[in-house]
């Protein structure tokens, strides 16, 4: 049976073998959630980038550009990293170039994998269905916060690992077992649990805690954004 592994930080990925495996990248607050929102509002494809400089270069090519560092929108970009930034009609039928503190870095850390999928609570079941249909060994990569562990991506990993395990995937990996146990503890009030986290408290200080309520919604989208040859598409 296919195996599940969970990795709590992009800087731990070097200890794992990615060849032939599927990686699900999760940056629940907010990059991977916002990418789903962007597709739901008509973005044609997304180019995820590591640096601000590279991302700016997409402006003259009629891309929508989005930049976030330390939770704040970067000056000179049209969009930040809030899901609400991608609900405008102005993005319809345009491509998006985006760089964020954690999520786009995590995608680049996964390039050795056979498949890279974008996951968040908003498309959790769709991601699980795709993984179950394909039956490949799967690594759930939590984007974390500046290479440190974070709660929200771990809870997503636990929710996804539980769905896969209950449908026959093997889960022998301590990080998946811990994430699944944590999700089991927190699931009855996920938002309250998340609001204990360091990241959520940063959001409250920035007055963007409505983003958390949005990002904690389960299964509002039924597609799985997929990274292929430098672009994320659905």
List residues near a copy of itself by CB under 8 A.
8-9, 11-12, 14-15, 145-151, 154, 172-175, 177-178, 181-182, 184-186, 196-199, 201
User: Do 121 and 33 contact (CB within 8 A), yes or no?
Assistant: yes
62 versus 172: smaller Cβ distance to a copy of itself: 172
- For the bound state, the minimum distance from the C-beta of residue 197 to a copy of itself, rounded and expressed in Å, comes to 5
92 versus 146: smaller Cβ distance to a copy of itself: 146
Q: Considering only CA atoms, which of 59, 42, 45 is closest in space to residue 93? A: 42
115 versus 154: smaller Cβ distance to a copy of itself: 154
Return d(Cα 93, Cα 89) in angstroms, integer. 9
Return d(Cα 190, Cα 183) in angstroms, integer. 8
- For the bound state, the minimum distance from the C-beta of residue 74 to a copy of itself, rounded and expressed in Å, comes to 22
43 versus 216: smaller Cβ distance to a copy of itself: 216
- For the bound state, the minimum distance from the C-beta of residue 78 to a copy of itself, rounded and expressed in Å, comes to 31
Q: CB neighbours of 133 closer than 8 A, spacing ≥ 6?
A: none
Mapped to the 3 state alphabet, what secondary structure does 101-139 carry? CCHHHHHHHCCCCCEEEEECHHHHHHHHHHHHHHCCCEE
- For the bound state, the minimum distance from the C-beta of residue 149 to a copy of itself, rounded and expressed in Å, comes to 4
């Amino acid at each position: 049976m296919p195996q599940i592994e969970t990795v709590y930080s992009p800087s731990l990925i070097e200890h794992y073998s990615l060849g032939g495996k599927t990686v699900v990248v999760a940056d629940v607050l907010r990059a991977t959630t916002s990418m789903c929102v962007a597709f739901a509002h008509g973005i044609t494809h997304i180019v995820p980038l590591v640096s601000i400089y590279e991302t700016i270069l997409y402006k003259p090519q009629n891309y929508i550009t989005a930049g976030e560092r330390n939770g704040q929108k970067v000056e000179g970009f049209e969009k930040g990293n809030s899901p609400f930034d991608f609900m405008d009609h102005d993005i319809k039928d345009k491509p998006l170039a985006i760089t964020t503190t954690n999520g786009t870095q995590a995608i680049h850390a996964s390039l050795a994998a056979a498949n890279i999928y974008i996951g968040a609570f908003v498309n959790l079941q769709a991601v699980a269905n795709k993984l179950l249909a394909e039956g490949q060994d799967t690594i759930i990569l939590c984007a974390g916060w500046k290479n440190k562990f974070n709660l929200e991506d771990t809870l997503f990993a636990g929710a996804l690992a539980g769905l896969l395990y209950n449908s026959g995937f093997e889960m022998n990996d301590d990080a998946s077992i811990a994430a699944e146990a944590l999700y089991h503890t927190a699931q009855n009030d996920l938002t309250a649990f998340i609001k204990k986290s360091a990241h959520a408290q940063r959001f409250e200080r920035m007055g963007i805690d409505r983003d958390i309520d949005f990002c904690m919604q389960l299964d509002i989208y039924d597609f799985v954004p997929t990274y292929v040859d430098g672009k994320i598409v659905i």
